[in-house]
Amino acid sequence: MSGPSTYQPQNAVLKWFEARLPIIGLVHSSFVAYPTPKNLNYWWTFGGILSMMLAVQIITGIVLVMHYTPHVDMAFNSVEHIMRDVNYGWLLRYLHSNGASMFFIAVYIHMFRGLYYGSYKEPREVLWILGVIIYLLMMATGFLGYTLPWGQMSFWGATVITNFFSAIPGVGETLVTWLWGGFAVGNPTLQRFFSLHYLLPFVIAGVVVLHVWALHVVGQNNPTGVEPKSSQDSVAFTPYATVKDGFMMVCFLLFFAWFVFYVPNYLGHADNYIPANPGVTPAHIVPEWYYLPFYAILRSIPSKLGGVIAMFGSIVLLAFLPWLDTSRVKSATYRPLYKQFFWVFVLVCLGLGWLGSKPAEGGYVIAARVLTAYYFIHFLIILPLLGLIETPKPLPNSISEAVLKKTKVAAAMLLAAGIGAMTLLASGTQASAAEGAPQPPRNKWSFAGAFGKFDQAQLQRGFKVYKEVCQTCHGLNLVSFRNLADPGGPGFSAAQAAAIAAEYKVQDGPNDAGDMFERDGRPSDRFPPPSTWKNEQQARALYNGTVPPDMSVLAKARGFERGFPWFLIDALPGFAYQEHGVDYVVALLKGYKDKAPSGVTIAAGGNYNEYFPGHSIAMPPPLTDGRVEYTDGTPNTLDQQAKDVAAFMMWTAEPHMMQRKRIGFQVMIFLLIFAGLMYFTKKKVWRDVHAH
C-alpha cells in the first residue's frame, strides 16, 4: 500500500479525520497519484471494466432478490413476475443475465492479456494466483446463479455439476448427498444455492481488494515487460488511466447494451424457459458458453474421475503458470516463438469451447481429445521448453525508449480472434438440434429487428385463435387479463379487457360456507387453467402420455440451431435474428402431413410432423384453412392463422418488447454520444504525453 501520496488536507475537519483514519490519503495514493506506466494499451482497461461489471452484478442482483422467491414451486414464476410486473423488472433481469456473460468476456480478455504480456511472472505471481482464485469464485457464482430461475437447464445443470463430486472415491456419494440436502437436486438444493450465490460475490469483492493491493505493491506490467525505471516512464493514475479506463468502460457498455436491449436471449438457452422437470432430461444439456471449453475437456476423458480431474486440473494448472513458463522475458512482443504458440493456444481454447456445445459423438470426440491433449501440452511441455530454447528479440532499455517506436498487433489476428470469440459466445446459444428435422423457414415478422413493432391487429387475431383453438388444452397462466390493455400489446381498451375477463370463469373461495366457487374473471386475474384437465396425470391419460405445455413463454422456450457462420451473424446489428421460436411454431403448425414418408414409422397415437423433433407429436393438427373466422377481413388461411397465433405467443412471452427496443434506442444514442465525448476527453488529457 505504499504510494507517493502527496495528499495534505487543507480543511481543518478533513485534517482531523485524516489523522484518525487516513482513508482519503489512501484513495489518493492508490488511485490519483499512483504511478502508472505511460505505455499501457487498451488491453489494460479490462481491470477497471471488471470492477464495473462486479458492481453492476451486485447492484442488479440485490435489487432482483427483492422480488425473487427461492422455492422450487415459485422460483420460475417469480422470475416471470419480475419480467412482467416489476417496474423495469425486465431490464434488471436482462442486465443481470447478460451482465454475467459480459463479466466473463471481460475476464477472459483480462486473462489472455496476462498470458500474452507475461503479467504472471516475477514479481506478480501472487497477483496472478489471486486472479485464478477470483476466476474460480466467478465460475462457482455463475453456476449457482444459473440454477435460480429453475428452468430445465438450471435443474439439469445442477444435477450434472453436483454429480461431479460423486467421482471422488469413497466419500463421493456422501458428499453429493450433503450438497443436495436430499436424494436428488430439489428444494433444499435451490435454497442453499441461493444463499451461496448471494454470498460469493462479496467474497469475490474481498479477493479483488487483495488483488488490487498486490498489484499496487509491485506496480502494473506493461506491453514491453520492462519495468518502469524512472518517473519518465510513468504518469499519474488520475487523470490519465482514469479517463482511458472510463472511455473503454463506455465502449464496453455499448457492447453490453446491444445484448440487453436487442438480443437479450442470444447468449442464453431456450430450454431454460421450460420450467424444471425432474422426470425429463433435455436432449442436449449444455452449460452457459463461458464453461464450454472445460465441458469439452471433461467429456473427452473416458473415465468419470479422470474427466473431473482433467477439468478442474485445467483451471488449477493456471495457478502454476509463473513457474511453468521458464522465460525471463515477459512480453510476447519480444518472444517471436511464444507469440505463435500463444495464438495457437487461443484457437485451441475457442475450438474447445465450440466442441463443448456439440454432442459428444463421432468426430467431435476425437477433436476434443486432440485439443484437450494440446491444452495440457501447452502448459506442461511447450511453455517450460520455450523459455529454454527461444531467442527473444532485444528488449528496449526503458518504456520511454520503446514508446518512440510503437508496433501494432496485426489487425487480421484480432479479427480472427474476434470471430473465434463470437463463435465461442454463440456456441452456448444453440438450442437443441431437432433430430433429423429440417430448419424451419424464416418468416417476416413486424416485430423483428431493432425497430420492429407488434402489429396490434395481428395480436388480436392471434388471441382469437388462442381462445377458439388452443385454449381448450393449453394454459396461459403467466398472463393477466389486464395485460391485454397494456401498452405495447394487442391494444384492447381497459373496458374491453374487463369484458374479456368477465367471459372467463375463475375459481375463488372458500366462501363463508367453506366451499370453493366460480366467479366471473376480473382484469387482475390470470388466465385460468384449461377446463379439460385438472392435473398432469389426467392430462397424460387424455393426451397419449403428454401434458400440453403452457403457452405463456413457449415462443422463447423453442428454437433451433443455425449453422456457421449464420449463428454469428444472427447477433449482429442489422442482422439480429431472435425469432427462432416463432418460426419453429409456424413451421410446426404447418408441418403436419397425412402420411409419414416411407421409412418413418409413427407409434400409435402420434401424428407425423416434419418439424417436430422425432417427427411424432401427440397433438393432432390444430389448424386448418378457415378454422377461425377473422373479423377484420384478413384471409384466414392456415398460414395466416399460424403466423397470427405465433405473433400472439411472442407477445405473451415478451410483453415489454416494445418498451425494451424504444429504451434501447435512447440508451444506444446516449452511449454513442458519451463515448465520443469520453474519447475526445481522453485525447485532450493525454495530449502532452503523446507529444512528449
Partner 1 sequence: MTSISSAEPTRRDFLYIATGAVGAVGAAAVAWPLINQMNPDASTIAAGAPIEVDLAPITQGQVIKVFWRSKPIFIGHRSKKEIDEARNVNVSSLKDPQTDQARVKAGHDQWLVLIGICTHLGCIPLAHQGQYDGFFCPCHGSVYDTSGRIRQGPAPTNLPVPPYEFLSDTKIRIG
Q: Which is nearer to partner 1, 84 or 464 (CB)?
A: 84
With the C-alpha atoms ordered 197, 199, 205, 209, is the resulting torsion angle positive or negative? negative
Residue with cell 486440473: 313
Is 673 an interacting residue with respect to partner 1 (CB under 8 A)? yes
Number of residues that bind partner 1 (CB under 8 A): 29
Please count the CA atoms within 13 angstroms of the CA of 136 that sit on its side-chain side. Answer: 16
Interacting residue with partner 1 among 31, 65, 67, 569 (CB under 8 A):
67
| β 234-236/35-37 pair status | antiparallel
Is 260 an interacting residue with respect to partner 1 (CB under 8 A)? no
Is 86 an interacting residue with respect to partner 1 (CB under 8 A)? yes
Least separation in angstroms between CB 234 and partner 1: 13
Interacting residue with partner 1 among 280, 410, 415, 677 (CB under 8 A):
677
Q: Alpha-carbon distance 52 to 205, whole Å?
A: 11
Least separation in angstroms between CB 80 and partner 1: 11
| Torsion angle, alpha carbons of 40, 46, 49, 50, to 10 | -140
CA dist 25 → 209, 212, 220, 644 (Å): 17, 16, 20, 64
Is 31 an interacting residue with respect to partner 1 (CB under 8 A)? no
Is 670 an interacting residue with respect to partner 1 (CB under 8 A)? yes
Interacting residue with partner 1 among 10, 87, 391, 598 (CB under 8 A):
87
Q: Alpha-carbon distance 459 to 462, whole Å?
A: 5
Is 680 an interacting residue with respect to partner 1 (CB under 8 A)? yes
Interacting residue with partner 1 among 2, 391, 407, 524 (CB under 8 A):
524
User: If DSSP states are collapsed to H, E and C, what string results for 267-305?
Assistant: CCCHHHHCECCCCCCCCCCCCCHHHHHHHHHHHHCCCHH
Beta-bridge mates of residue 142:
none
Burial 358-379 (b: 16+ CB within 10 A, else e): beeeeebbebbbebbebbeebb
Q: Which is nearer to partner 1, 257 or 557 (CB)?
A: 257
Least separation in angstroms between CB 388 and partner 1: 45
Interacting residue with partner 1 among 229, 393, 505, 684 (CB under 8 A):
684
Least separation in angstroms between CB 44 and partner 1: 20
Element (H, E) at 333: none
Footprint (CB under 8 A) of partner 1, residues 179-208: none
Least separation in angstroms between CB 660 and partner 1: 12
Instruction: Select the span of 61-69, 426-434, 534-542, 595-603 touching partner 1 (CB under 8 A).
Output: 61-69
Footprint (CB under 8 A) of partner 1, residues 225-254: 239
Question: Nine-digit cell at 340?
Answer: 505463435
Footprint (CB under 8 A) of partner 1, residues 484-523: 522-523
Collapsing DSSP to helix, strand or coil, 228 comes out as: coil
Instruction: Select the span of 9-17, 325-333, 574-582, 675-683 touching partner 1 (CB under 8 A).
Output: 675-683
Q: Which is nearer to partner 1, 427 or 480 (CB)?
A: 480
| β 505-508/234-236 pair status | unpaired
DSSP one-letter string for 240-265: IIHHHHHHHHHHHHHHHHHHHHH-TT
Interacting residue with partner 1 among 339, 369, 482, 540 (CB under 8 A):
482
Q: Report the interface residues with partner 1, using CB under 8 A.
A: 59, 63, 66-67, 81, 84-89, 91-92, 239, 480, 482, 522-524, 670, 673-674, 677-678, 680-681, 684-685, 688
